[in-house]
């Protein structure tokens, strides 16, 4: 089921219960059933809209889009919002403009009028009905629609970041990935130590609050022996468990998977050491692999992170491989949970399964992926297949090209929008940004 939103321009919403920059709970009637829904208004939006989640009178959560579909509504059908105090009834409209009786709703003809909804007060005459708009952001934007959508979305993202993180552009420059991309384009080659540093930082970013890692960055040079590849390749699992990993724990820079990631990095460093010897340096190896993949850095990330690739590095998926490549100057997006959930909530990439927290048989909080029709609320993130990861990188590349910025710059901007180290925008917030 596609995600449907009923949204009204603020200047046309006088008859709809709402407050500025807030939420009003209403009785929402769809078909013959009554629900508790919300009318939401947030700054700096210019619209008032019905929440995507509603509750039955017994408290069960339902998806508004599913209720519309179950009552015969289809995308771009014309409807009326009949307002009676704090009760809002959703009514279908026939081609003639009349309200369709309840018994005839399933067979009602589709409206031939331009896409939109109409808002009416219960006692208002048809001539005074105010036009409103319906949004369907989970349907993939067509190629013709996307440039306009990209421009509008980018303006909204920048405004949001300007308000929440005034120095966001300086922070992105401080990450160093934009400068790395510029240097690679100028022909700068990197030493094995510099390349391994890029891979180490990618590993450290995995499922971790980057703010924790930023605090210890100045000390990493010493811990990793100037990022000497031969040093790390010579370590044993015990070295990592007794020295390297405790170092991060002592500095509150640990993460759930860091211990095993650092152990796996031993094998990755051994692989990289072999590639370096075979090609006269890691830079030569990566350049050769890039050429073998049509000079497409997205496919290079796939080559280093895919489970089916002979060059896959131990402990690295496509997202971490992309992050390592960005650290050494490749201008691509990283398809991690933040970028993926943004692409899903913006309606640019469709994912079939999203995360859900639950209590397992041991009584502990765990995560699983469930099939859903649209992005859930909160901070649920999608399960990304390799095809999804490539699509996300390609979409981000197209987005960046359309708004004339680097993919790595756009990626970091959206990361600041989504990550705990930034604004930590929820899925509901991301969906609202796409509606502005």
CB-count burial class (<10 Å; 0-12, 13-18, 19+) for 232: buried
Residues 6+ apart with CB under 8 A from 430: 341, 342, 345, 346, 417, 418
pLDDT score at 323: 97
Task: Please say if the pLDDT value at position 105 is more than 70.
Answer: no
Angle between helices 386-403 and 146-164 (to 10 degrees): 80
Cα three-residue angle 65-69-74, rounded to 5 degrees: 100
Q: Identify the residue whose tokens are 């992309």.
A: 322
Residue 129, pLDDT > 70, answer no
Angle at 245 between CA 240 and CA 248, to 5 degrees: 150
Q: Which of 207, 204, 206 is nearest to 251 (CA)?
A: 204
Q: Is the pLDDT of residue 93 over 80?
A: no
Q: Where are the alpha helices (DSSP H) in 207-360?
A: 210-223, 229-233, 237-239, 245-250, 258-279, 282-292, 297-305, 318-327, 337-345
pLDDT at 113: 32
**pLDDT score for 16:** 82
User: Is domain 191-327 given the CATH code 1.10.287.610 in the classification?
Assistant: no
β 79-84/117-121 pair status: parallel
Mean pLDDT of 87-105: 57
- Name the nearest CA neighbour of 51 among 62, 37, 61, 36: 37
Query: Could you tell me how far CA 289 lies from the centroid of its own chain?
Result: 29
Which range (44-53, 204-213, 397-406) has the least confidence? 44-53
The predicted structure's pLDDT at residue 59: 82
Check whether 243 has a pLDDT greater than 50.
Answer: yes
24 vs 49: CA distance, rounded Å? 11
H-helix or E-strand containing 353? Answer: strand 353-359
Non-local CB neighbours of 88 within 8 Å, separated by 6+ positions = 16, 17, 26, 27, 28, 29, 37, 39, 50, 81, 82
Complete DSSP assignment for 33-59 = EEEEEEEEE-TT-SEEEE-SEEEETTS
pLDDT of residue 110: 33
Element at 395 (helix H, strand E): helix 386-403
> What does the pLDDT read at residue 61?
81
Residue 111 has pLDDT above 50, yes or no: no
**Euclidean distance between CA atoms 260 and 267, whole angstroms:** 11
In tens, the pLDDT along 14-51 reads: 778 888 767 888 898 988 889 998 887 755 456 677 87
Give me the pLDDT at residue 14, please. Answer: 74
Angle at 272 between CA 268 and CA 278, to 5 degrees: 150
As a whole number, mean pLDDT of residues 72-90 equals 76
pLDDT band at 272 (very low <50, low <70, confident <90, very high): very high
Could you report the per-residue pLDDT of 51-78, keeping only the tens digit for each?
777 888 888 888 787 788 788 776 656 6
Tell me the mean pLDDT in the region 288-295. Answer: 95
Backbone angles phi, psi at 152, to 5 degrees: -65, -45
Q: Is the pLDDT of residue 123 over 50?
A: no
pLDDT band at 131 (very low <50, low <70, confident <90, very high): very low
- Picking from 417, 398, 423, 407, the residue whose alpha carbon sits closest to that of residue 146 is 398
Q: Is residue 383 scored above 80 in pLDDT?
A: yes
Q: What is the pLDDT of residues 409-431, one digit of tens each?
A: 999 999 999 999 999 999 999 99
pLDDT greater than 60 at residue 175: yes
Average pLDDT over the chain reads 84
Q: How confident is the model at residue 84 (pLDDT cuts 50, 70, 90)?
A: confident
**Would you state the pLDDT for residue 116?**
37
Which is higher by pLDDT, 313 or 8? 313
User: 78 or 339: whose pLDDT is higher?
Assistant: 339
């Amino acid at each position: 089921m596609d995600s449907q939103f009923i949204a009204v321009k603020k200047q046309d919403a006088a008859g709809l219960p709402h407050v500025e920059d807030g939420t009003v709970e209403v009785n929402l009637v769809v078909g013959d059933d009554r629900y508790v829904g919300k009318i939401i208004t947030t700054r700096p939006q210019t619209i008032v809209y019905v929440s995507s989640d509603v509750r039955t009178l017994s408290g069960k959560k339902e998806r508004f889009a599913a209720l519309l579909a179950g009552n015969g509504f289809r995308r771009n059908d014309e409807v009326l919002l009949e307002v009676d105090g704090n009760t809002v009834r959703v009514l279908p409209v026939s081609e003639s403009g009349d309200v369709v009786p309840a018994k005839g709703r399933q067979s009602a003809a589709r409206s031939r009028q331009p896409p939109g909804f109409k808002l009416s007060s219960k006692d208002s005459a048809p001539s005074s009905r105010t036009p409103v708009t319906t949004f369907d952001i989970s349907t993939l934007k067509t190629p013709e629609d996307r440039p306009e959508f990209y421009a509008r979305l980018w303006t909204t993202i920048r405004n949001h970041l300007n308000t929440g993180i005034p120095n966001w552009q300086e922070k992105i420059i401080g990450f160093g990935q934009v400068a790395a991309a510029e240097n690679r384009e100028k022909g700068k080659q990197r030493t094995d130590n510099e390349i391994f540093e890029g891979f180490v930082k990618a590993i450290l970013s995995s499922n971790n609050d980057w703010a924790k890692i930023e605090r210890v960055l100045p000390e990493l040079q010493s811990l990793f022996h100037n990022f000497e590849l031969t040093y790390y390749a010579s370590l044993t699992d015990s070295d990592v468990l007794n020295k390297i990993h405790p170092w991060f724990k002592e500095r509150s820079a640990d993460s759930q998977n860091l211990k095993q990631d650092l152990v796996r990095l031993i094998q990755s460093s051994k692989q990289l050491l072999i590639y370096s010897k075979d090609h006269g340096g890691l830079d030569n190896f990566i350049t050769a692999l890039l050429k073998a993949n049509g000079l497409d850095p997205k496919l290079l990330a796939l080559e280093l992170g895919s489970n089916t690739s002979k060059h896959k590095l131990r402990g690295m998926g496509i997202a971490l491989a992309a992050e390592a490549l960005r650290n050494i100057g490749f201008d691509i997006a990283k398809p991690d949970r933040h970028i993926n959930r943004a692409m899903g909530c913006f309606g640019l990439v469709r994912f079939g399964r999203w995360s859900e927290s639950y209590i397992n048989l041991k009584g502990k909080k765990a995560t699983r992926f469930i099939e859903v029709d649209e992005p859930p609320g909160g901070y649920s993130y999608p399960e990304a297949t390799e095809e999804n990861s490539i699509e996300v990188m390609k979409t981000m590349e197209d987005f960046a090209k359309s708004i004339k910025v680097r993919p790595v710059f756009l990626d970091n901007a959206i990361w600041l929008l989504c990550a705990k180290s930034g604004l930590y925008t929820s899925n509901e917030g991301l969906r609202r940004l796409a509606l502005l």
